[in-house]
Structure 1
């Protein structure tokens, strides 16, 4: 009788680690805060244009400025996270500012107060975004990193789905009272703070005694791979301007103000159903090809929305836009985490958000100008063209990577 050769025995199947509790908790924090945010954001463009008489160009600038403020704050938040090696306190501060801003929107009877409330909200978003992503990267093993970022995005989009539904319900119950929606939006924001304080835990990492002190110049020493991801992301953000323009386009398609938030419900359903599965898939097959798929969805969404003069065509465009979001948002965060050393993850996410925020400010302002100068179709047609350029650059990146193997 011969003994089996141990070297010929099949190796046990490798068990994929479970997604950490902290990731789930951060996902539910995002869900609750997004319910609050979407209750306001889905009606704010109408409130500005119909209630306060603000032009589309000004709305585009306000939206872009809000994103720019958030992303500039994200850069410094990331640097602070790398200096302190603590992420949760910054996340609490950021979410807390966002929750406090909810109390300003209902009393904002002028454009100045609306801008102040949005600025406060966006500063909070800027402070919390980078440490939140750094927390996810820190607690997630590399082989489930895409799934972790995708799960957080999916739960976030559940909030994006529920928020507009709540807004529609309140609008129907309160006879179209937008201010009442703004007041109720403060409740889920407060609940988000409770979940963050109780269930999110900073990972305990042993720091060597001779660990070198952090210097600001380190945040500028990101490698070429990180900058390549940031460059592609900036181009995508230039092509995909604010959803405020998608909301305004719904009026061309025949929506009444009460039902405008429904477009965000549809978009977030498509977004939420795809973000987590796509994140898991990217851990196995790579991220570049899936990002190209997201841009194909964006091109078709732009072309559909450009000519959407009825409800059916508009809904198709919002579904495609949501699919683009689901195929791209979690991937970009995972790609930054993949290419960045652990000591600089906060700075990398901060730089990523700073660059894309500046691009969004320019892109949103330009979209508003093109809308007013050449009609509502023009921003979408330009967005489709820029998306096609991004696809070409991603294909070149993939070819270079294949040749270097």
Structure 2
């Protein structure tokens, strides 16, 4: 996981002499400590978030008696509201040198403050408002967090770094439903207890961010600067003036063809990506699973994601991040086909969950790494936000449409329509991304 720090050696293995005033050349870790610290924060926060996510569909549909359309509205809030503030979060993080940690911390803190309010939300408007604020926090933190990972990692290793982070994040997603299941079984007022424990865990995640995530990120580079001759005179250079990125600079990133194509494809595929909650509801009904086992369904997705995130991230660095992203949606389409097939029962449910986790391992961190490769360092927050916003807004629309289609036609027919749309979207995305591929080099600055 780490590359040992070392100085350059000669052919006999002895250290080469360096100029007295030249600092030792260090090889940077493949997965820097910043990535591991952020992974720990995400792990803890995801335990909290997935505790709520695991029980929310059943709580809303069975506990509060809302229709699939009403749940589709809530699920759309989960995906869409955060997208509306993600651009603002990325832009604020890019302004003023080292605001990534500050903006991310505000996002994590806002989500943590919302968790204690969930037991008080018993109607659709109140629950929707609480979830909207919670997703606002997620929207604020996502782009700065991914920007910190990009800036702390060498470009050639970003796929692996994002894979490690997503694996740690998914460990939390694996533990969250288990904790929710245990709390539901051990308490009388199970849902309120789940929400309360979730709030305590979220506060711990904020504390870890404040104490262990460094504020500064070293600029990535693949090149090792040669040592100057001992008698060389370094010319004096005056620092070039730099202004904070303006909002029009962030929006101007879409003038870059590679980023524009990536954003369009992420949005196009997001329009036909059924949310996890709807997929789990369909699996529970098609597989005739008892209601108390419902919180365990995300475990299959999380376990598959955890096992494959790092290998597929490393594969993306060696092969092609964009092609792997498209292949992941092909795997998701296969999962939809299994849900619609005559094969039912526990084995079929497990197979769908494995394919679902593989889809996330091949797309989530891989898309962030692909984005980082086509965006200048000073705009990493805004670049990640642009692609993430396009994808999140598309998934918001998909949740609303799928909830309405389920109410009108039933779950199986709605999924069949979504599967057909995903096949068409994947073909269109493959056509748009057919030219060239992202590079591992740092993108030069181009003023918008």
| TM-score normalised by the chain length of structure 2 | 0.83
- How far does the alpha carbon of each residue in 1:155-186 deviate from its partner, in whole angstroms, 9 at most, with x for none? 11111111001111111112572221111112
The residue aligned with 1:344 is 379
The residue aligned with 1:3 is none
Superposed CA RMSD in Å reads 2.3
- Inter-partner Cα distance in structure 1 for 2:59 and 2:344: 22
Q: Does 2:96 align with 1:84?
A: yes
Query: How many residue pairs were aligned?
Result: 393
| Secondary structure of 2:95 counterpart | helix
1:236 aligned to which of 260, 265, 269: 269
- Inter-partner Cα distance in structure 2 for 1:159 and 1:365: 27
The residue aligned with 1:200 is 213
Q: Unmatched 5+ residue regions in structure 1?
A: 1-8
The residue aligned with 1:330 is 365
The residue aligned with 1:100 is 113
Task: Give the superposition deviation at 1:188.
Answer: 1.7
Task: Give the superposition deviation at 1:194.
Answer: 1.4
- Inter-partner Cα distance in structure 1 for 2:432 and 2:257: 12
Task: Give the superposition deviation at 1:368.
Answer: 0.6
CA contact (8 A) 1:270 1:319 kept: yes
The residue aligned with 1:211 is 242
| CA shift in 2, pair 1:361/1:398, >3 Å | closer
- Inter-partner Cα distance in structure 1 for 2:187 and 2:350: 26
2:404 aligned to which of 369, 373, 388: 369
**In terms of mean alpha carbon deviation, does 384-393 or 261-270 score higher?**
384-393
The residue aligned with 1:321 is 356
1:221 aligned to which of 252, 272, 276: 252
| Secondary structure of 2:373 counterpart | helix
| Secondary structure of 2:399 counterpart | helix
| CA shift in 2, pair 1:213/1:325, >3 Å | closer
- Inter-partner Cα distance in structure 1 for 2:206 and 2:319: 36
Task: Give the superposition deviation at 1:286.
Answer: 1.7
CA contact (8 A) 1:306 1:376 kept: no
- How far does the alpha carbon of each residue in 1:292-321 deviate from its partner, in whole angstroms, 9 at most, with x for none? 321221111111123465333222212211
- How far does the alpha carbon of each residue in 1:175-204 deviate from its partner, in whole angstroms, 9 at most, with x for none? 572221111112221111111011101225
The residue aligned with 1:256 is 290
The residue aligned with 1:152 is 165
| Secondary structure of 2:116 counterpart | coil
- Inter-partner Cα distance in structure 2 for 1:389 and 1:10: 59
- Inter-partner Cα distance in structure 1 for 2:215 and 2:27: 25
| CA shift in 2, pair 1:204/1:294, >3 Å | closer
Q: Does 2:33 align with 1:25?
A: no
- How far does the alpha carbon of each residue in 1:201-247 deviate from its partner, in whole angstroms, 9 at most, with x for none? 12256994511342221112111100111111112222222111022
The residue aligned with 1:70 is 82
CA contact (8 A) 2:322 2:370 kept: no
| TM-score normalised by the chain length of structure 1 | 0.91
| CA shift in 2, pair 1:205/1:32, >3 Å | closer
CA contact (8 A) 2:82 2:138 kept: yes
- How far does the alpha carbon of each residue in 1:259-300 deviate from its partner, in whole angstroms, 9 at most, with x for none? 101110111101111111111111111213322321221111
| CA shift in 2, pair 1:214/1:18, >3 Å | closer
CA contact (8 A) 1:176 1:258 kept: no
CA contact (8 A) 1:267 1:322 kept: yes
- How far does the alpha carbon of each residue in 1:324-357 deviate from its partner, in whole angstroms, 9 at most, with x for none? 1111111110011011111221111121222222
1:186 aligned to which of 184, 189, 199: 199
1:297 aligned to which of 331, 338, 349: 331
Task: Give the superposition deviation at 1:400.
Answer: 2.5
- Inter-partner Cα distance in structure 2 for 1:250 and 1:296: 19
The residue aligned with 2:148 is 135
Asked which structure has the greater CA Rg, the reply is 2
Task: Give the superposition deviation at 1:389.
Answer: 2.5
Task: Give the superposition deviation at 1:15.
Answer: 7.2
